[in-house]
Amino acid sequence: MGMWQRARSASFLAVILVVALAIPVAASDEAVDLDAVYRIKSEGFNHSQVMNILRELTDVHGPRLTNSPQFFAAADYAVELLNEWGIENARTEAWGEFGLGWSNQRFYAHVTEPVQFPLIGYPKAWTPGTEGRIEAEAVMVTVKDEDDLDELKGKLAGKFVLAQTPPETEPRWEAQARRYTDEELAELAAAPQPGGRRGNFDFAAFRAARAFRTKVNNFLRDEGVAAVLEPSGRAESGTAGTLFVSSGGPRDPEEPQAPPQVVLTSDHYGRLWRLLEKGESVRLEVEIASQFHDDDLQGYNVFAEFPGTDLADEVVMLGAHFDSWHAGTGATDNAAGSAAMLEAIRILKQSGLQPRRTIRIALWSGEEQGLLGSRGWVASNLADPADMDTYPEHGKVSAYYNLDNGTGAIRGVYMQGNEGVEPIFAAWMKPLSNLGMTTLTIRNTGGTDHLAFDAVGVPGFQFIQDPMEYRTRSHHSNFDTYERLVPADMMKNAVIIATFAYHTAMRDELLPRKPLPEASAGRGPFGF
């Protein structure tokens, strides 16, 4: 397509030619199609479109908060792109009710007393705006229990409220961006020690704390505060100006709204807190223009298929979550994964390769709110983990491959305890080792959409990626932008994903499976 700039590299072509002519893989009996690997690398390295896709998803359509206008525009773009490439049945498909959409149109915050300076902040999602620009007093409060709420009654109307003690900060001594060392990869490849202690998350305490936060927010709303201010978390990152922002209000249109809420950088919040501690009069000027969207409360995923041949009724799935938080443009979390999957299926189509199994791409929504898009689709199409009654397609999905750990290069695969895939993946990785993919680990990894598949016994895998700046700078932050992406890593990732998808689609048998898990009734709807 004329809009895409094509990157060509003679050096890359030379490298992949050497690989294509290398001696056959002898690590196992698993077939490896080196001609296909050559064609995938040639297309992926010499005609890559991944960074063009990323510019569209981030600069043009980001951020992509689920059910926001930006999300739907980005989904339309992805469907149009897949249609242009000839990937069949590109569509959006509802997975269940998500709730209200939300977007922010304007935010302004400035200190007017005792000295003037601008504040770096961002409104929390699903919280309302102010009625125009408001200038008012800022106050600090301490709320530990309901008795504190009784003491504050009638004292906070029209004021900006700081209700959290600032986090303690310290210098960050390690680099924000890094790659895995050989030693770290070797440690990751080793199985965890049997009998090791496992963290037991206290769900009861978590639910109690969340319920109390809701009660405090409802109290502050009813008191008529101008807005609630809070410090950005993860102050230990030592990154001045970084904001980690999520949601602060309900998506359910039947629930009462929360008060306006703003996250400030820990630096600016701390300054306001110290001024108030000193007894200074602090006044702020703030304007928030935010909008709730109730046109459609359903949540939607994006799907498309590259049909197979003799095994077309069986499926290999590629996926990533398409939604993001709203302070940045959702680049590393997770336009990076979505663009890699889009580019992988484009590479396979453009290379002229014809898979035996159908390859399906899935771009999920609602991941940031709890893997909602993938869990909803799995429960309706593969199996409901509450009772583990399976649908016919459950036995026809060979594997689901996921990417959701930022821009970092793929270094291997988390096998999620599936011993049977190790010799197969080891063979497929052999011609990819010169791209840095060398590690298989039996360990599990959590927090993203492959868990929905693993929870119902369908092989679901997340790739191991270099951490880069993911946890320290870009993850859920205002710095999650195009500038945090590494083009060479993105190109490698798309090639690796395409290679794994193709070989999975060409095997005579489905990938080996673990035993079907027990039903998770009574342990939460998905058992994780």
233 falls within a domain = yes
Decide the pairing of beta strands 383-384 and 311-321: unpaired
Instruction: Select from 243, 260, 293 the last residue of a domain.
Output: 293
Q: What is the pLDDT of residue 16?
A: 38
pLDDT band at 193 (very low <50, low <70, confident <90, very high): confident
Residue 521: the pLDDT is 62
Region 448-470 average pLDDT: 96
Is residue 511 in a domain? no
Count of domains forming the chain = 2
* Confidence (pLDDT) at 197: 56
Shared-domain flag, residues 361 and 493: yes
Based on the domain organization, do 92 and 159 belong to the same domain?
A: no
528 inside domain: no
Rounded to whole angstroms, the Cα distance separating 481 from 324 reads: 11
- Assigned token pair, 16: 């992949």
**Among 293, 327, 351, which residue terminates a domain?**
293
526 domain residue, yes or no: no
Q: Are residues 443 and 340 in the same domain?
A: yes
Higher pLDDT: 287 or 16? It is: 287
Residue type, 514: K
Do both 301 and 203 map to the same domain?
no
d(CA 48, CA 502): 18
3-state secondary structure of 272: helix
When pLDDT is cut at 50, 70 and 90, the band that residue 25 belongs to is very low
Q: What percent of the chain has pLDDT over 70?
A: 91
219 shares its domain with 87: no
| Mean pLDDT estimate for the chain | 91
Q: What percent of the chain has pLDDT over 90?
A: 81
Q: What is the mean pLDDT of residues 92-97?
A: 98
pLDDT tens digits, one per residue of 202-250 = 778 888 888 888 899 999 999 999 999 999 975 444 456 889 999 999 9
Between 196 and 453, name the one with better pLDDT.
Answer: 453
Residue 9 lies in a domain: no
Domain for residue 525, yes or no? no
- The answer to whether residue 4 is domain-embedded is no
Which helix (H) or strand (E) segment holds residue 462: the answer is: strand 460-465
Asked if residues 326 and 104 have their Cβ atoms less than 8 Å apart, the reply is yes
Specify whether 110 is located in the same domain as 208: yes
Containing domain of residue 398, as a range? Answer: 31-98+297-506
- Taking alpha carbons only, the member of 471, 497, 470 closest to residue 484 is 470
| Dist CA 435 CA 433 (whole Å) | 5
Residue 504: CB atoms within 10 A of its CB come to 28
Q: Over the stretch 315-360, which tens digit does the pLDDT of each residue have?
A: 999 999 999 999 999 999 999 999 999 999 999 999 999 999 999 9
255-299 pLDDT per residue, tens? 999 999 999 999 999 999 999 999 999 999 999 999 999 999 999
Model confidence at 498, pLDDT cuts 50, 70, 90, reads very high
Mean pLDDT throughout 293-319?
98
pLDDT above 90 for 112:
yes
Is the same domain home to 276 and 384? no
Position 82 confidence tier, pLDDT thresholds 50, 70, 90: very high
Q: Which two tokens stand for residue 140?
A: 């600090």
Residues 381 and 483 placed together within one structural domain of the fold:
yes
pLDDT at residue 210 in the model:
84
Say which CATH number the domain at 255 has. Answer: 3.50.30.30
| Residue 140: Cβ within 10 Å count | 18
* SS3 of residue 286 by DSSP: strand
The CATH number given to whatever domain includes residue 371 is 3.40.630.10
| pLDDT computed for residue 2 by the predictor | 38
pLDDT computed for residue 44 by the predictor:
98
Chain center to CA of 106: 25
Same domain, 110 and 238: yes
Residue 436 belongs to a domain: yes
Name, in order, each residue with C-beta under 8 angstroms of 56's C-beta and a sequence gap of 6 or more.
Answer: 74, 77
| Residue 198 pLDDT > 70 | no
